[in-house]
Amino acid sequence: MFDNFYGLTGKPFQLTPDPEFYFRSVTHRKALSYLGYGLAQGEGFIVITGEVGSGKSTLVAHMMESLDESQVTVAQIVTSKLDGEEIVHVVARSFGLDIEGHDKATALTEIESFLHEEAREGRRCLLVLDESQNLTVSALEELRMLSNFQLGNHPLLQTLLLGQPEFRVTIQSDPGLEQLRQRVIAAHHLEPMQKGEIEPYIFHRLKKVGWDGNPTFDQRVFSELYEASGGIPRRVNQIANRLLLLGAVEERGRIDAAMLQNVLGEMEAERAFPEAAPSPMPEAEKVFEPVKAMPTTPRVDKEMLEEYLAERDAQIAELQQAIVEMAEQRDSAIADVVNPEVETLREQIARVEARCFEQERTIRQTLTMLIDWIESEMDSSKAA
């Protein structure tokens, strides 16, 4: 919508990585230098870490545009939580190898044969793994083993690992990764953009889609945008998208700080969802009275949740007290009364337990309805 209003040829602040929008911030220039150095070595591991949205994927996409496809074969993986055996098969598939069955030895043999063939054709192989913080230590160790493949003295595989800050900690401190640490030839942690880089970043992306000065921006917008985003590129994009949308809706030719605060307030309100619904009741908890039916138009907020939970807790306490009393009566009856009276008491207890079971099922259904309603409200809020 706003791209048409402002005469732009595309979306300047899209959230998906696009190498065309690569911005040379201080930290990204350093990272690119480390990448260039590491790639020139043609072996070992390169590690790039950074916060979510810090621009790791855009950086790598920009780097890959500079690679000659006739000289480098690249395989990319976005990892989930993989163990040592699974990662071998995923690597094989990423290089286009079709491995029958799930035999690890066969997969390793096929990978090594492929790497040898690429080397004989004059190409080296680069494996890029994003979201590496999801990998298990056994999977990382398996990747280290793959780095041992050689043709003579020539290494056949180089690996680039991208991950969030916790991956950096894992690499640096896990005792099981000492051998992998020794094979890291370049590493860099992407920091947020600096305060003075927000303005050129905004203009850089706008110019990529034909911006001709419309809209203009108050200087306060850039400093306040830095404070709100922490200098993380993806957060800057999220806010800038909403800011331009508001400008188009209100037909503004100038973006000011008041508009930014309006957008930030809206985004904060959208995150103010109700607290999580209560966990299902433990099996031992029983209730005497059914929970009241939910109103036709339920008032789902914190007070309502507390009201239902308080009622549930009161009924549970009442049940527990009743069970204690009945147990005491049963113990006394066993000692003092004749068998028919004991049987009568047991039948009464059985009826109460059956009733408790039905009422427990009722409250579970009610809480399930409550949770489903909250989730649907959250989904509709996000969609809006």
Q: Is residue 108 part of a domain?
A: yes
Query: Last residue of a domain, which of 190, 223, 244?
Result: 190
Looking up residue 238, the CATH number of its domain turns out to be 1.10.8
Q: Is residue 42 part of a domain?
A: yes
Strands 154-155 and 216-217: unpaired
Task: Report pLDDT digits (tens) over 188-210.
Answer: 999 999 999 999 999 999 999 99
Q: Is residue 15 part of a domain?
A: no
Number of H helices and E strands in the chain, helices first, is 14, 9
pLDDT score for 22: 93
Task: Report pLDDT digits (tens) over 130-175.
Answer: 999 999 999 999 999 999 999 888 899 999 999 999 999 999 999 9
Q: Is residue 82 part of a domain?
A: yes
Provide the mean pLDDT of the chain: 81
pLDDT score for 287: 40
Q: What stretches of 276-338 show up as alpha helix (H) in DSSP? A: 302-336
Task: Report pLDDT digits (tens) over 295-333.
Answer: 433 444 445 555 555 565 666 656 656 665 665 665 555
Specify the range with the lowest mean pLDDT, choosing from 41-55, 173-187, 318-332.
318-332
Q: Give the type of residue at 239.
A: I
Looking up residue 155, the CATH number of its domain turns out to be 3.40.50.300
pLDDT over threshold 50, residue 365: yes
Q: Is 183 helix (H, G, I), strand (E, B) or coil?
A: coil
Task: Report pLDDT digits (tens) over 261-301.
Answer: 999 999 998 876 444 444 444 444 434 344 344 443 344 44
pLDDT over threshold 60, residue 228: yes
Strands 45-50 and 150-151: unpaired
Q: Are 163 and 200 in the same domain?
A: no
Query: Last residue of a domain, which of 218, 246, 270?
Result: 270
Q: Is residue 11 part of a domain?
A: no
Mean pLDDT of the 108-112 span: 93
Give the DSSP letter string of 348-384.
Answer: HHHHHHHHHHHHHHHHHHHHHHHHHHHHHHHHHHHH-
Mean pLDDT of the 345-359 span: 66
Task: Report pLDDT digits (tens) over 236-248.
Answer: 999 999 999 999 9
Mean pLDDT of the 170-192 span: 94
Q: Is residue 288 part of a domain?
A: no
Q: Is 276 helix (H, G, I), strand (E, B) or coil?
A: coil
Q: Model-level pTM?
A: 0.67
Query: Last residue of a domain, which of 152, 172, 190?
Result: 190
- 323 compared with 20, residue with greater pLDDT: 20
Counted domains in the chain? 3
Q: Is residue 275 part of a domain?
A: no
Q: Are 162 and 227 in the same domain?
A: no
Handedness of CA 92, 97, 101, 103 (dihedral sign): negative
pLDDT over threshold 90, residue 359: no
pLDDT score for 1: 62
Q: Is residue 241 part of a domain?
A: yes
Dig out the tokens for 72 from the structure.
């480098």
> What is the span of the domain harbouring residue 105?
26-190
Query: What pLDDT band is residue 82 in, cutting at 50, 70 and 90?
Result: confident
Q: Are 336 and 215 in the same domain?
A: no
Is 32:188 a contact under the CB 8 Å cutoff?
Answer: no
